[in-house]
Chain A
Amino acid sequence: MMPMALTTFRVFMLLASFPGTGKHFHRMLKGAIDWWCGKKIAVIGPTAAGKDSFLARLQNQDIPQIHTNSAMGEKVKSFPVKMALSNRRVVDVTCKGVINIGGETDYRDDPSGWLAVCQDADVIFYVMTVNDLSAKRYLKGRRVRQDLDWLLTAMPHLKQDALIHILINKIDQQIESHTDYQALGDELARELGALHRTARSVLHPYEDRYTGATLISMKNKQVYTRAINIVFRAVYCAFHEGARCRKAG
């Protein structure tokens, strides 16, 4: 028995002495731990903004047939998100511990509501609608702004590297109801800029965690595919390259 154990130990020492083996082993171990832990995402936002639909899309499913106003926090079964991004990066994570929750302010202010959903989350997706953007609900005293204020107060209780990304859903409805796309584009760009500034100033000193706001449509698969690529590129970049990437962006 002893010579065999000794031989194994010698082989291990030999392999460990190769340049880069330690690093590789460390990477493997980290990968295994990451796989085991998975990533936790939180999806919050006002009622009927499209939170359920976003969770369905992430799971590569169609918008749920039975659609209900979410009545309580409900656990979502772990699911994989595997996506090749346009910049040749690959997102390959298992989303674990996701909780689907309602959007009324009652859920936000309940300690076992949004806060419980966001705790331990690696990425928080705040889903709002393009109507919220057009109606400037990011201004003081209005719903989106109140939610951003809430996010700031929640930040100290969240994971130290948690990222926040805003999804502005239902852009397909705006596109369908407009004919002058240039004017629509200009208006949206202006509002997006204002939302962006508001989010950064409200989230200060945590503004580095904010990775941007993206127009999206959960309903329209083409728009969703384009938008989610932008979303994950921003989130991936912030995750893997940190502050340097955000500065460059």
Chain B
Amino acid sequence: MQEGGLSAMRAYWILPNREQRDDILASDGKTVAPLRQILDPRARPQGFSHGIPAEILEKCGPQAFEQVLFAQRFPAWDGGKQLFSIFSTAGFDSTGRVVHLGLLFVLEPDEQPRFELTCASLPKADQVYARTLINRMRSTGANDAWARSVRELSELPPSRGPATNVLLERSSARFYSLYSAGPGGLAPKPAIWRKPLAVSIVSLILFAVLGMWLSVRGCGRSSLPTAQIGVVIWHFN
């Protein structure tokens, strides 16, 4: 698969499951084998995706399916190696479901993915999608925001931890992300609070402080008519 083949980088195609098989297939460019023989399911990092998550496709809408690229990066995986994957849509399966074509890289800690790959041995139906993906990743892509976001992801410092090019809101694993997807394409990720628990705790503390302040204030001025302080104070006894 890798022309030159001098570095430690290993690259595989993850093939679309057009025939609705029980396992996901992968190719090293020469042979096709179940992905599990290349990457044991038990060794896959939490949140590892085998395609573009449905939430991104839903946000972008069908007209943008061909543009969407989804990438994930897992630094410090399996003895310090990096796992890097990129997915594009690749048409439909026999029942009209969107299927995905992917590139999986196993990299050294500071290595960048290189797109010097061949797709000649892939099934014919997949070759056109594979070629498009490679071309997009190779080109400077001034107008291709999705490809740019993948390149930016590959250049992130490993200290960021597991990361994706696009924000995921429904993933059970947490990722650092660069952009958010929407009907208009990619947009820089908005700086919003994404931790409702933290928001709840802060709100509770604020309410508690406010409550204490009001009660102290109320006690201190209890001889004043209640109408003046705007709070109805019930006096028992």
Please list the residues of chain A having a beta carbon within 8 angstroms of any beta carbon in chain B: 1, 3-4, 46-48, 66-76, 99-100, 102, 104-113, 116, 143
Contact = CB atoms under 8 A, between A and B. Distances in A.
B57 A68 contact: yes
Contact of A75 (B49, B98, B171, B237): B171
Contacts of B170: 74-76
A1 B24 CA distance: 71
Interface string B20-55: 111110000000000110000110101111111111
A22 B100 CA distance: 58
A135 B203 CA distance: 58
Contact of B21 (A47, A68, A107, A108): A47
Interface residues of B, number: 40
A102 B50 contact: yes
Contact of A69 (B22, B99, B237): B99
B17 interface: yes
Contact of B17 (A69, A73, A108, A113): A69
B64 to A, nearest CB: 11
A1 B237 contact: yes
Given A102-B50, A106-B50, A68 B20 contact: no
A109 B42 contact: yes
B49 A69 contact: no
B223 interface: no
A109 B34 CA distance: 13
B172 A75 contact: yes
Nearest to B35: A106
A104 B22 contact: yes
Of B22, B58, B62, chain A has the most CB atoms within 10 Å of the CB of B22
A73 B172 contact: yes
B172 A116 contact: yes
A114 to B, nearest CB: 10
A105 B53 contact: no
Given A3-B237, A75-B170, A104-B21, 20 more contacts: A4-B236, A67-B98, A68-B51, A68-B100, A69-B99, A69-B100, A71-B51, A73-B47, A73-B172, A74-B170, A76-B170, A99-B172, A102-B50, A104-B23, A106-B23, A106-B36, A109-B42, A110-B48, A112-B44, A143-B22
B93 A69 contact: yes
A66 B98 contact: yes
B143 interface: no
B228 interface: no
A75 B36 CA distance: 24
A104 B50 contact: yes
A48 B20 contact: yes
Nearest to A100: B54
B157 interface: no
A57 B173 CA distance: 26
B50 A48 contact: no
9 nearest A-B residue pairs (beta carbon) = A71-B51, A72-B49, A109-B41, A68-B98, A74-B170, A110-B41, A112-B46, A48-B20, A1-B236
B81 to A, nearest CB: 18
B162 to A, nearest CB: 12
B220 interface: no
B36 A109 contact: yes
B7 interface: no
A67 B97 contact: yes
Contacts of A68: 51-52, 54, 57, 97-100
Given A66-B62, A105-B22, A112 B51 contact: no
A73 B171 contact: yes
B21 A112 contact: no
A76 B57 CA distance: 15
A5 B54 CA distance: 56
A109 B237 CA distance: 69
